[in-house]
């Protein structure tokens, strides 16, 4: 089972596993490790990627899987310049940081502006929600420093988005979350639901009403956003609209089930694919999900790895079962392998609580809104037809 011509759209690079805070729901197993990826590893990665001919016309390079801003500014200047020298003229690169925002400074903003880096800031809403889970190594809240980073971006007029993890209290706080975002000028928002991944096990997903609560949250938050237009983008709803109402002939891809569509690289050059959260997760049956090392293996050897083939076999089997059994398959494409593995114990499985939230609940919100709109149009048209 070989992928003859992979299409690599996303490269997740771990500059360091280290994180300067200690969120209660974090799944990263090595966040005390201060190893910094070598510049030679970065050069090897992009030299081999571009030489392979497998890179998409536009590649999103996400610096993540640790707090990216704990790496020195000079590290990124050297890395970005090296990648730019290697980049073929017909391939575009978009660099992205997903950060807690606490280390942002004018100098970091200069780098982000110079290289047009897309930046996302993790903030879980108002202080009492954020500081419940996003804490320092000593258990202190991080809200003030994260908010200072957001305000610095706003002062500079720099675009950014936020990602908020919804735990138990957050699911019932749509109005409060919305008011907070509006007050802080945050107009592009994304939501994750606290989940079981890696070494973190969440008891929230076991609750019988979690899907209904998340659906209520999204419905209310989106209603508020549409009414005022002060929050312009809600990822879970806006991306679902595109998925639900795309033309019949429009292709749909789930990059998490497509081998090498996402290439994930740790600070030592080890490679994985499919769900980025698999990087650093341990399971002997799949060689800890490592399919090669960019410093020692060719791209062809990585593509032909028997561990990649083993994962692909089982992931494909799970996707086939989803296709045969799930009415949401057309807007999902087979789910997230990491969640299948952690929730169900196997890639070769179907529905997870996670997909019932992020895919099913979000689709339910969009479809319910479409039905309401259709009903309104019919009622408006009725008098004219009488």
CATH code: domain of residue 262: 3.20.20.70
pLDDT in tens, 226-279: 999 899 999 999 999 999 998 877 878 899 999 999 999 999 999 999 988 898
Residues belonging to the chain: 386
Lowest mean pLDDT among 168-177, 198-207, 298-307, 377-386: 198-207
pLDDT in tens, 74-100: 999 999 999 999 999 999 999 999 999
> 246 or 143: whose pLDDT is higher?
143
Mean pLDDT along residues 15-38: 89
Residue 62 φ then ψ, to 5°: -105, 120
Exposed/middle/buried for residue 97 (C-beta within 10 Å: 0-12, 13-18, 19+):
buried
> Residues 6 or more apart from 167 whose CB is under 8 A from it?
25, 124, 129, 132, 133, 194, 204
Best-predicted range by mean pLDDT among 289-303, 325-339, 359-373? 289-303
Per the listing, tokens 């200069």 go with 110
Q: What is the pLDDT of residue 15?
A: 96
Report how far apart, in Å, the C-alpha atoms of 150 and of each of 122, 201, 309 are.
10, 29, 43
Q: What is the pLDDT of residue 49?
A: 98
Lowest mean pLDDT among 53-62, 133-142, 248-257: 248-257
Q: What is the pLDDT of residue 302?
A: 97
Q: What is the pLDDT of residue 378?
A: 65
- As a whole number, the mean pLDDT across the chain is 92
Q: Is the pLDDT of residue 4 over 90?
A: no
| Three-state SS annotation for 128-180 | HHHHHHCECCCCCECHHHHHHHHHHHHHCCCCCEEEEEECCCHHHCHHHHHHH
pLDDT band at 11 (very low <50, low <70, confident <90, very high): very high
pLDDT band at 200 (very low <50, low <70, confident <90, very high): very low
Q: Rounded CA gap, 114 and 119, in Å?
A: 13
Q: What is the pLDDT of residue 14?
A: 96
Q: Rounded CA gap, 220 and 224, in Å?
A: 6
The fraction of the chain above a pLDDT of 70, given in percent, is 92
- The residues that bridge with 271 in the sheet, in sequence order, are 265, 292
Q: What is the pLDDT of residue 168?
A: 86
For 110: left if phi > 0, alpha if psi spans -120 to 50, otherwise beta; the answer is alpha
Range of the domain at 120: 1-386
At CA 145, angle to CA 136 and CA 69, rounded to 5?
A: 80
- The residues that bridge with 164 in the sheet, in sequence order, are 191
- The residues that bridge with 141 in the sheet, in sequence order, are 135
Best-predicted range by mean pLDDT among 103-112, 131-140, 224-233? 103-112
> 373 or 158: whose pLDDT is higher?
158
Q: Is the pLDDT of residue 196 over 80?
A: no
Q: What is the pLDDT of residue 233?
A: 96
pTM score, two decimals? 0.91
Tally the domains of the chain. 1
Number of continuous H segments (helices) and E segments (strands) in the chain? 13, 10
Mean pLDDT along residues 217-226: 95
Lowest mean pLDDT among 37-46, 58-67, 144-153: 58-67
Q: Rounded CA gap, 352 and 229, in Å?
A: 33
Q: What is the pLDDT of residue 2?
A: 57
The fraction of the chain above a pLDDT of 90, given in percent, is 76
Q: Rounded CA gap, 126 and 120, in Å?
A: 17
Question: How many CA atoms are closer than 13 Å to the CA of 309, on its beta-carbon side?
Answer: 8
Report how far apart, in Å, the C-alpha atoms of 47 and of each of 42, 83, 227 are.
9, 8, 48
- The residues that bridge with 192 in the sheet, in sequence order, are 165
Q: With DSSP H G I counted as helix, E B as strand and the rest as coil, what are the percentages for the chain, rounded to 5?
A: 50, 15, 35
């Amino acid at each position: 089972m070989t992928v003859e011509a992979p299409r690599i759209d996303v490269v997740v690079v771990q500059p360091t596993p280290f994180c300067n805070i200690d969120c209660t729901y974090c799944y990263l197993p090595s966040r005390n490790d201060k190893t910094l990826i070598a510049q030679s590893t970065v050069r090897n990665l992009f030299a081999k990627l571009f030489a392979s001919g497998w890179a998409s016309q536009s590649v999103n390079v996400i610096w993540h899987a640790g707090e990216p801003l704990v790496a020195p500014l000079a590290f990124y200047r050297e890395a970005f310049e090296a990648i730019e020298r290697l980049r073929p003229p017909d391939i575009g690169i978009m660099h992205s940081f997903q950060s807690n925002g606490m280390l942002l400074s004018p100098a970091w903003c200069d780098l982000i502006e110079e290289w047009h880096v897309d930046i996302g800031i993790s903030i879980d809403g108002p202080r009492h929600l954020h500081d419940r889970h996003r804490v320092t190594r000593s258990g202190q809240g991080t809200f003030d420093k994260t908010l200072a980073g957001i305000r610095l971006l706003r002062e500079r007029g720099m675009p950014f988005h936020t990602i908020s993890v919804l735990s138990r209290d957050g699911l019932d706080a749509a109005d409060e979350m919305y008011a907070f975002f509006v007050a802080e000028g945050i107009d592009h928002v994304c939501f994750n639901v606290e989940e079981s991944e890696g070494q973190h096990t969440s008891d929230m997903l076991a609750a019988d009403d979690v899907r209904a609560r998340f659906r209520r949250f999204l419905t209310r938050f989106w209603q508020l956003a549409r009414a005022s237009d002060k929050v312009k983008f809600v990822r879970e709803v806006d991306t679902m609209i595109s998925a639900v109402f795309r033309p019949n002939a429009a292709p749909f891809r789930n990059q998490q089930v497509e081998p090498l569509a996402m290439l994930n690289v740790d600070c030592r050059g080890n490679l994985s694919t499919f769900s980025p959260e698999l990087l650093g997760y341990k399971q002997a049956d799949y060689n800890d999900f490592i399919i090669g090392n960019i410093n020692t293996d060719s791209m062809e050897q990585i593509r032909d790895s028997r561990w990649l083939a083993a994962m692909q076999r089982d992931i494909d089997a799970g996707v086939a079962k989803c296709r045969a059994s799930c009415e949401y398959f057309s807007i999902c494409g087979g789910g997230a392998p990491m969640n299948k593995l952690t929730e169900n114990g196997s890639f070769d499985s179907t529905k997870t609580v996670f997909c019932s939230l992020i895919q099913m609940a979000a689709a339910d919100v969009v479809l319910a809104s479409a039905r309401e709109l259709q009903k309104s149009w019919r009622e408006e048209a009725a008098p004219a037809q009488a």
